[in-house]
Amino acid sequence: QISLKHGSHRSGKRTDATMQRWREYGLGQFIHWGIYSIPGGGWDGKTYGGAAEWIRSWSGKDAPNDWRKTYDNLYKQFNPVDFNANKWAEQAKNMGAKYVIFTTKHHDGFCMWPSKYTEYTIANTPYKKDIVKEVVDAYNKVGIDVYLYFSVMDWSHQGWRYDIKSPEDSIAFESFKKFTRNQLLELLTSYPSAKGLWFDGTWDKSWVKQAEFADELETEMRTLRPGLIIGSRFRADDFGKRHVDSNGVMMGDYEQGWERNLPNSIEDVHGHDWDCVMTIPDNQWGYNSHWKGYVKTPYNLIEMLVKSVSLSGNFVINFGPDGKGNIRQEETSIAKEIGDWMKTNNEAIYGCSHADMKKQDWGYFTQKGRKLYLTVFNRPINNCLNVEISEKGVKPTKAYFLANKLPVAIQDAGKNKQNNNLYNIVIPAKYISDKPFVIVLELEESQ
Ligand SMILES: C#C[C@@H]1N[C@@H](C)[C@@H](O)[C@H]1O
């Protein structure tokens, strides 16, 4: 046990109602929207090879002349005339999202709210209005909780440093720390209904060295807003360890490291709450007019969602509106397909978590109380869904399609070498589905 002043201040999951509500979300929406959405991954007929929201960092022979200066003046043309927060919120609601994570400020430092600590904000654009407030109000109105994404790394601020290597760096970074604290308290005060902060851009050596400051700031934010939810990405411990402190205890309220990546087993989750944030194309969060590479289908994303919930996590799908405030057609149709599937099957998602059942090839188990939800992605040729129950004295008593409650047969398939009870849930051969489907299996303690 290493003695830490600024490690994790709690081990085990939070047990309060606010965190329980977070745990039951299942599906979330991420929105990356800012002035990087204007170039949309290219400029002057040239395309940038990286993630569109990082285009400010474009440099070298391929970058347009004076690109940095051009970029830093883009806010003067930011006028998303097509933006309609209520339309976005309605679409998210229909998709089945229970929370949204919205970029208040990405790494470029441009603020989508009228911060009084910098001129580099929405207030100084042709649009002028407070976009964060519009999003918070619209999503809350349809019952979707809002989490505010905030990038600590801020390329626009004079005091920001990647590392602190001189007394000048130190003085500059002190001003940056003050600015960061001011903006975070400003966000919490201006948008009191926001349930949490989703931090990013916290990997710089300069920030990783701020264990005491970040720990005190986290405490100050939690005191200002009791119940506030902050993930593992915000701060580092006394020795610069992030996400998990030097004693192996998670920092923050949930594991925030699953970015474009999913755990493969319940062991990978280490008993933590967690969410996975996922892009629809390979690695584009902000709007990119030319999606390159593989674009995930609705059923890729539904499988990731069900897998996440089967491992007691939430799954967050990213949307990147364009510079005018439009959500692109590909994302709109994906949201519709996922929403149609969720309308029939959300009982297998909301409030569900990992079932202590042996993973089977046909798909995933999720559980709520004594109900098991079997979501089938790979229908066996013999139509038999293998189920193995290791818990002694527990047996399945009822099985039926979630969609229409039509019963399906449960076959006793004896015991395996480990003396676990085996069952086949038999899908009627005539039942045809071109979409993943859910069978509910009710369990009972056998006398
Ligand atoms: C790297 C990185 C950032 N983290 C993701 C959530 C996006 O914001 C991306 O730009």
3-class DSSP string for 12-78? CCCCCHHHHHHHCCCEEEEECCCHHHCCCCEECCEECCCCHHHHHHCCCCCCCCCHHHHHHCHHHHC
Side by side, the strands of the sheet bearing 409-415 are 384-389, 421-426, 409-415
Ligand 1 geometric centre to CA of 368 (Å) = 33
Rg of the Cα atoms in the chain: 24
**pLDDT band with cut points at 50, 70 and 90 for residue 391:** confident
Ligand 1 geometric centre to CA of 259 (Å) = 8
**pLDDT band with cut points at 50, 70 and 90 for residue 432:** very high
pLDDT by residue (tens digit) across 131-188?
999 999 999 999 999 999 999 999 999 999 999 999 999 999 999 999 999 999 999 9
pLDDT for 11 beyond 80: yes
Ligand 1 geometric centre to CA of 384 (Å) = 42
Q: Is 130 in the pocket of ligand 1 (CB under 6 A)?
A: no
Kindly report the pTM of this predicted structure: 0.98
Mean pLDDT across the stretch 206-210?
A: 98
First to last CA, the chain: 46
Q: Is 277 in the pocket of ligand 1 (CB under 6 A)?
A: yes
**pLDDT band with cut points at 50, 70 and 90 for residue 288:** very high
Q: Is 273 in the pocket of ligand 1 (CB under 6 A)?
A: no
- Taking the CA of residue 277 as reference, the ligand 1 atom at the shortest distance is 6
Q: Is 204 in the pocket of ligand 1 (CB under 6 A)?
A: no
Rounded to 5°, the CA angle 83-137-334 comes to 55
* Predicted pLDDT at 445: 86
Reduce the DSSP state of residue 86 to 3 states and report it: helix
Chain position carrying tokens 């990087």: 36
pLDDT for 447 beyond 80: no
Cα–Cα dist 202/246, whole Å:
17
Q: Whose CA is closest to 319, among 27, 121, 58, 18?
A: 27
Q: Which one is predicted more confidently, 392 or 69?
A: 69
The conformational region for residue 396 under phi > 0 = left, psi -120 to 50 = alpha, else beta, is beta
Q: ipTM greater than 0.90, yes or no?
A: yes
**pLDDT band with cut points at 50, 70 and 90 for residue 446:** confident
pLDDT for 115 beyond 90: yes
Q: Is 200 in the pocket of ligand 1 (CB under 6 A)?
A: yes
Q: How many CB atoms lie within 10 A of CB 388?
A: 16
Q: Is 285 in the pocket of ligand 1 (CB under 6 A)?
A: yes
Chain position carrying tokens 């593992």: 232
